[in-house]
Copies of this chain bind each other. A is one copy, B any other.
Amino acid sequence: MKNNQVDHNLPEPTKAELEILQVLWEFGPSTVRFVNEKLNENREVNYTSTLKQMQILTEKGILKRDESQMKHIYIPVEAEEKTKVQLLDRFVNTLYKGSASQLMMQLLGNEKTSKEEIEEIKRLLEGME
């Protein structure tokens, strides 16, 4: 198998798509209006732009929706965790040739990772075995 190939279980969400997913993850199934309002807390986006994105996400099978009401309710098809694991996996493979420990090293070396975080990580590891 060639090197840089990735499994395309799900089409990789684009940046704008990820923003929307994040809103849905945080607040649960939502209407377009709600999502659009959340997005607008960070930057200006037209309502129909968000609508279109969410429709595209639905076409791609990343979201599904409940159309029983006029206000459609959008829901991520995959659980937050599962999607994040995929993205993380891709990230590790791309940047660290799959080596989680290398990624760790950078995380630990990064001064933005606080002492508390590091302690927390240690506790996690000890609790594993």
Contact = CB atoms under 8 A, between A and B. Distances in A.
Contacts of A108: 124-125, 128
Contact of A100 (B3, B89, B91, B113): B113
A77 interface: no
Contacts of A92: 107
B101 A121 contact: yes
A48 interface: no
A87 B122 CA distance: 24
This protein's copies in its complex: 2
Interface string A4-37: 1100000000000011000000000000000000
A91 B89 contact: no
Given A87-B95, A91-B91, A100-B107, 11 more contacts: A2-B41, A2-B42, A4-B43, A85-B106, A88-B103, A92-B107, A98-B112, A100-B110, A101-B124, A104-B104, A108-B124
A71 interface: no
A78 interface: no
